[in-house]
Structure 1
Amino acid sequence: MRKTSLLVALASLFFLFFILMIQSQLEQSSTASVPSIPTENTETTFEQSSILDLNDQESEAIASQVQTFPIQSNPSAKYYDLNSDYVGWLKIGGTVIDYPVVKSSDNKFYLNHDFYKDEHILGAIFMDYRNIGMGQDDHTILYGHYTQSGLMFAELDKFLSESFTNKNPTINFMDPYTKRTYKIFSVHVAEADSNYIKTSFKEDDLKKYAEKLKANSAYPIDSELKGNPKLITLISCNYSVDDGRVYVHAYEITE
């Protein structure tokens, strides 16, 4: 009797585990919930108005000379309306990485919430809460999940291939006002380490820090670090080492 009960219990646990595994795989293969890709700024016109009485002949003559001024609408405005945590849009050639980026008051919320702040196993691409954004940081840090379906930051692993990086050497990040381009100078896998996520530096420490990151690269990458370059680092999980992360480091191209 006890043996039968034990077998039933084990069978029930196995069935529950199987169901959870299937559910996890289905969620992992689901589509990330994000808004549509931003388009180029659209131009509208603003007509200069007159405070004069248009019934007056003189004011009518003035009104006939009214000038129009082009105005560029900011595509980021609609993303702010959807989520006030929006800080920009990340796009990397050769990958599916083409996502909005958000920032919370901590580095936990967007691990399991999507762009719309709904609970989702894929989470969102998010900026380190210590960053300011808008290009003001010495070192911008972006996080995203590794997923079995290849979504979010799973394809950062592609940069572990030297040939792939040579073909896709840049990262594009469009903050609400400026499109910024970064050149990759280091890619490596290592354990989760706070030394890789420093966000502020003193004097020439940033240049020394960048040189250290470059030395840690899994392979040499042709790059030229001048002065104190603005850095960006993309981070995701990597299971080739215990508590591993893949790190992709790049510096802003200013010329």
Structure 2
Amino acid sequence: MQKRRGKIRKTIRNTILTLSCITFLVVTGIFAVEIYQEQKSSANMRKVQAMAAVTVGESGTVKKAISDDPNDPKNNLAALKIEYLYKKNKDLTGWLRINNSDIDYPIMYREGDNDYYLQHDFFGNDDRNGLLVLDKRCSFDLSDNHLLIHGHNMKSGALFGTLKYYKEDEYLRKHQAVELDTPTEQRFYEIIAVVDTTANGEKDGFNYADYININDKQTFDTYIAYLKAKSLHKIAATASYGDQLLTLSTCDYTMKNGRLLVVAKRVG
């Protein structure tokens, strides 16, 4: 009987050891795949950023495109960048940049579809990082008075993975300006609010996505009042009806279905 018990204990130990080894190999494999995917995603993004840099750098093609007319949009290097990249992918609508941060990415748009470019890169490859996406309820030409841009909150810091730092006062002070390049101009925005909320208003019954197309002063004022009341920081800058708003939205894992919003108004 004692010998039999010894065999059972040995079998249990061996089984546990085998399962532990299998678990270790599976976890290691998953981790390795994630690292590979992250490296591939970063490499593809660097290609797009390099293409943009060439466009506004020493490209002979760009030089030939610049006319003698100072009012010609082609003299705007930011516009040239968009024009060049648009030829590579016609879903490109603009380029978002926050100086002295990792945010320096193309903005993509597909009519009626917010999901495709959250799962694909600029070249159409599967990519869990995705890209920045202009909300499907906005206009491709960025003419709306409220632009909503989505991006993943990546642990690596890619895409909107650094927006969480806007919860810190010092980071906000050093990164108050947002730049948006379009096919015709370079726009500048000033941050007016940083808000923790939820995707569909579950937290407080206020769904920020309902305020993309703001066609009247009362609705605009209601939205601004909400932002200022809920902002994590007391920011002197605000917005009035007639201003164009830009909202950067990403997941916030501090709450169920959470969203972090960084809202800015156009200046200049």
Aligned-residue offset at 1:45: 6.8
Aligned-residue offset at 1:175: 1.2
The number of equivalent residue pairs is 233
Among candidates 33, 38, 41, match of residue 44 of structure 2: 33
Partner of 2:144: 137
Partner of 1:100: 106
Whether 2:120 is the aligned partner of 1:109: answer no
For normalisation by structure 1, the TM-score amounts to 0.80
The unaligned stretches of length 5 or more in structure 2 are 1-7, 202-206
Partners of 1:169 and 1:143 in 2: how far apart? 19
Q: 5 Å matches for 1:154-193?
A: 154-193=161-200
Partners of 1:166 and 1:44 in 2: how far apart? 38
CA contact (8 A) 1:32 1:152 kept: no
Partner of 1:220: 234
CA contact (8 A) 2:193 2:227 kept: yes
Partners of 1:144 and 1:45 in 2: how far apart? 33
Among candidates 131, 144, 147, match of residue 154 of structure 2: 147
Q: Deviations over 1:72-117 (max 9, x none)?
A: 3633222111111000010002211011111123111112101111
Partner of 1:59: none
Q: Would you tell me which structure has more helix in proportion to its own residues?
A: 2
Q: Would you tell me which structure has more strand in proportion to its own residues?
A: 1
Question: CA 1:148–1:169 in 2, change beyond 3 Å: closer, same or farther?
Answer: same
Partners of 1:45 and 1:176 in 2: how far apart? 14
Question: CA 1:182–1:69 in 2, change beyond 3 Å: closer, same or farther?
Answer: closer
Partners of 1:185 and 1:45 in 2: how far apart? 36
Partners of 2:69 and 2:239 in 1: how far apart? 41
Partner of 1:239: 253
Partner of 1:200: 213
Partners of 1:114 and 1:75 in 2: how far apart? 18
CA contact (8 A) 1:133 1:140 kept: no
Partner of 2:25: 15
Question: CA 1:208–1:191 in 2, change beyond 3 Å: closer, same or farther?
Answer: closer
User: Helix, strand or coil for the counterpart of 1:93?
Assistant: coil
Aligned-residue offset at 1:29: 4.9
Aligned-residue offset at 1:145: 1.5
Q: Deviations over 1:219-255 (max 9, x none)?
A: 11111322232111111222222232221011111x4
Question: CA 1:241–1:129 in 2, change beyond 3 Å: closer, same or farther?
Answer: same
| 186-195 or 146-155: bigger deviation | 186-195
Question: CA 1:179–1:93 in 2, change beyond 3 Å: closer, same or farther?
Answer: same
Partner of 1:61: none
The residue type equivalent to 1:100 in the other structure is: P
Partners of 2:150 and 2:66 in 1: how far apart? 39
Partner of 1:51: none
CA contact (8 A) 1:187 1:219 kept: yes
Q: Deviations over 1:30-73 (max 9, x none)?
A: 51523123527746577xxxxxxxxxxxxxxxxxxxxx867636
Higher Rg: 1
| 73-82 or 105-114: bigger deviation | 73-82
CA contact (8 A) 1:28 1:147 kept: no
User: Helix, strand or coil for the counterpart of 1:202?
Assistant: coil
Q: 5 Å matches for 1:55-94?
A: 72=74, 74-94=80-100
Q: Deviations over 1:157-184 (max 9, x none)?
A: 1211122212221111111112111110
Aligned-residue offset at 1:17: 3.0
Partners of 2:43 and 2:160 in 1: how far apart? 11
Partners of 2:248 and 2:43 in 1: how far apart? 18
